[in-house]
């Protein structure tokens, strides 16, 4: 958690950190993580889809995308912008507009043991001050962790399957 002093009120910003080992090359993992169509596949459990901004292909620094999804039974829209990118090691997306007060999601990739460690660092602030903090404690942080873990595991499956296919083609 990070404490933020805002208008004489101390708000706590939850931080979710994940590490996922993927048996696939770093450049493949990086590209899959910023691919709009793959994002849609890895978040199919929320019916997420790109409805504005960049809606296909690989996201790059400065790109914005409007996502529409059903979270906690409510249809929502969120605009995210790629604010930083160092290919193929890291990129960061920030919320421009949406249900949160704010969020920053940094995706990092490190080569390790013939594969890649994908790290997610997700820091957010719920809206509605103290009420939002209560929602974090009761359900929102658990839900967001589940959402990010599910997406990471789906991305891992796709990357590892693509690696198997590539290896079979090369062995030919």
pLDDT in tens, 127-160: 888 888 899 999 999 999 999 999 999 999 999 9
- pLDDT above 60: residue 69: yes
Confidence of residue 171 (pLDDT cuts 50, 70, 90): confident
Predicted confidence at residue 11, as pLDDT, reads 58
pLDDT in tens, 18-28: 999 999 999 99
Confidence of residue 6 (pLDDT cuts 50, 70, 90): very low
Predicted confidence at residue 8, as pLDDT, reads 42
- pLDDT above 80: residue 12: no
Averaged over 76-105, what is the pLDDT? 97
CB atoms within 10 A of CB 162: 15
Confidence of residue 114 (pLDDT cuts 50, 70, 90): very high
Predicted confidence at residue 129, as pLDDT, reads 83
d(C-alpha 172, C-alpha 148), whole Å: 36
- pLDDT above 80: residue 2: no
For the ranges 1-15, 112-126, 154-168, the lowest mean pLDDT is seen at 1-15
């Amino acid at each position: 958690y990070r404490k933020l002093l805002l208008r004489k009120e101390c708000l706590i910003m939850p931080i979710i950190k994940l590490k996922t080992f993927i048996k696939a090359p770093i450049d493949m993992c990086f590209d899959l993580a910023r691919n709009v169509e793959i994002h849609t596949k890895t978040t199919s459990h929320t019916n997420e889809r790109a409805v504005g901004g960049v809606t296909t292909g690989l996201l790059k620094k400065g790109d914005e995308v409007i996502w529409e999804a059903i979270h906690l039974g409510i249809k929502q829209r969120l605009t995210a912008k790629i604010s930083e990118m160092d290919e193929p090691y890291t990129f960061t997306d920030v919320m421009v507009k949406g249900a949160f007060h704010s969020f920053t999601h940094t995706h990092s990739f490190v080569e390790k043991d013939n594969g890649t460690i994908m790290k997610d660092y997700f820091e957010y602030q719920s809206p509605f001050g103290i009420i939002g903090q209560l929602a974090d404690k009761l359900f929102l942080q658990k839900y967001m962790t589940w959402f990010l873990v599910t997406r990471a595991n789906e991305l891992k499956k796709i990357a590892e399957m693509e690696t198997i296919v590539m290896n079979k083609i090369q062995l030919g």
